[in-house]
Amino acid sequence: MAPLWALLWALPLASLAARVAVVQSLLERRNALGSEEPPEIEDDPPLPEQWEKKIRVLEPLGQGGFGRVFKAQVICEESAASASALVAMKVMHNQRSSHEEVEALRDMRGASWYCAGAVGRPGHVKFEGQHYALMPFMNKGDLHEVLKNCYHSHACRCNRQPGEELCWEALGRPFSLDMVLALFLQVMKGVRAMHEHHIVHMDLKPENVMLHCTDGHCYARVVDLGLSCRSGRNCHSLGTVGYIAPEVWKGVRVGVPANDVFSLGVILYMLVVGHPPPFHGDRDGESTTHYKPHLDRYIRPWFQRPLGHLMAKMLNLRPLRRIPLERAIDELKGILLNRNLSQEILQMMEHNPEETGAMHPLPQCLEKDAGARKSLTGLLGLLALSALIFQ
């Protein structure tokens, strides 16, 4: 059997009888909004005119089949807050998935603290045949990296018997099981916001959950909407092997919220149990479509606690019987509130990241419409010229 790190790092190719599109490799896409080890990218991209006086590109963060991502500094205000304000600029190739991602980013603008959305005004621009989008910069990498650190730590993987909790505290402050579950609750809220806007993510996995921390206060955000589908539209089977819902493997009920709930159930399993579920290496859907949570010896001991029941409900094979996301959120809230939570975790559950100090607001100058200002300047110039002519 392959080691756990291999299961996490590898992105095996899938065949869904030409129905499932294989996503870009993990090396191309991981840490797209906050990599600490960016690949070499030759040239900084030219900036659209609307952003030339608003941001300055600092360094590349990642690249892949979708395009490139850069870290940029906000420069439209001369203040300490502006000097430390960062955004991520994504430059996408002119392809169908880019159109769909830009559309999703536009619709999710301001919709949730916990889901990617365009920031700035304009938040997205088509320039020199490519799509540009500004998004919040996340400074602590992705949830995959956190899982990898725990899986590689004997101290963190202290659960010698199924049903025992991982020792997340071994990773240092602020980590604990309560913190990890609170971050996962934020992820669920971000996905809920997408569903409220009739968008199904279709590629939920730890690599697509980014983290941001300020002075020990952290929050999570769902990113990478490139494979998202509109509910009710014809949606192709998409996703990453190991997180694909059984009905998606079968090509039925694709592009519905229940698809995302299953993927979230896989992530919760990994956070609680300490390794991927047994179908994680499934290449053809066979083991996923026959998975039965009550026969899984790793989560069966958890059935004595509500968290085990929640995992089983989220991983139900039948999408119509799978727990709805809103109810899953309520159940996880109840589970957390029954634990001896610190004040910090309670604040994470009750307040947004700005209120908890996990993030600082972006400078207001980023939200000023450069196009409108340019039009106003032009209009004032014409009025001045008219006044001179008719004097």
**Higher-confidence residue: 64 or 164?**
164
Burial class (CB in 10 A: 0-12, 13-18, 19+), 45: middle
Distance (Å, whole) CA 153 – CA 166: 11
Question: Residue 29 pLDDT more than 50?
Answer: no
Go through 178-198 and write b for each residue having 16 or more CB atoms within 10 A of its CB, e for each that does not. bbbbbbbbbbbbbbbbbbebe
Percent pLDDT > 70 in the chain is 82
Answer yes or no: are the C-beta atoms of 121 and 48 closer than 8 Å. no
**What gap in Å lies between CA 59 and CA 132, rounded to an integer?**
16
**In the chain, domain spans:** 143-356
Residue 134 has pLDDT above 80, yes or no: yes
b/e 100-136 (16+ beta carbons within 10 angstroms → b): bbbebbebbbebbbbbbbbbbbbbbbebeebbbbbbb
pLDDT over 70 at 35, yes or no: no
Quickly state the pLDDT bin for 190 (edges 50, 70, 90). Answer: very high
Instruction: Find which of 119-133, 175-189, 287-301, 357-371 is predicted with most confidence, using mean pLDDT.
Output: 175-189
| Model confidence band, residue 16 (pLDDT cutoffs 50, 70, 90) | very low
Q: What is the DSSP letter of 199?
A: E
Per-residue 3-state assignment (H helix, E strand, C coil) for 40-94? CCCCCCCCCHHHCCCEEEEEEEEEECCEEEEEEEECCCCCHHHHCCEEEEEEECC
Does 90 appear as a known binding residue?
A: yes
Nearest CA among 205, 90, 192, 87 for reference residue 143: 205
| CA dihedral of 27, 30, 34, 35, whole degrees rounded to 10 | -30
Q: Which of 301, 307, 347, 305 is nearest to 328 (CA)?
A: 307
Tell me, what DSSP letter sits at residue 44?
A: P
Distances (CA, A) of 284 to 265, 302, 342: 20, 28, 44
> How far apart are the C-alpha atoms of 358 and 110, rounded to whole Å?
17
Greater model confidence, 264 or 379? 264
pLDDT at 253: 92
Which sign, positive or negative, has the C-alpha torsion 114, 115, 116, 119? negative
Contact 63, 69 (CB under 8 A): yes
Look at 4-8, 118-122, 192-196 and tell me which has the smallest mean pLDDT.
4-8
**What tokens appear for 177 in the block?**
């099981």
Helix (H, G, I), strand (E, B), or coil: what is residue 344?
helix
- The string of pLDDT tens digits covering residues 66-87 is 889 999 999 987 766 666 799 9
Record: fold of 143-356 = Transferase(Phosphotransferase); domain 1 (1.10.510)
Confidence of residue 24 (pLDDT cuts 50, 70, 90): very low
Does residue 5 sit in helix, strand or coil? Answer: helix
Question: Does the pLDDT of residue 374 top 70, yes or no?
Answer: no
CA distance 134 to 33: 11
User: How far is residue 212 CA from its own chain's centroid?
Assistant: 11
Identify the pLDDT of residue 30: 40
Average pLDDT for 172-182: 95
How confident is the model over 375-385, as a mean pLDDT? 53
Q: How large is the average pLDDT for residues 300-324?
A: 95
In which element (H, E) is residue 274 found? none
Residue 241 has pLDDT above 80, yes or no: yes
Query: What's the whole-number mean pLDDT along residues 117-134?
Result: 93
Give the chain's mean pLDDT.
Answer: 85
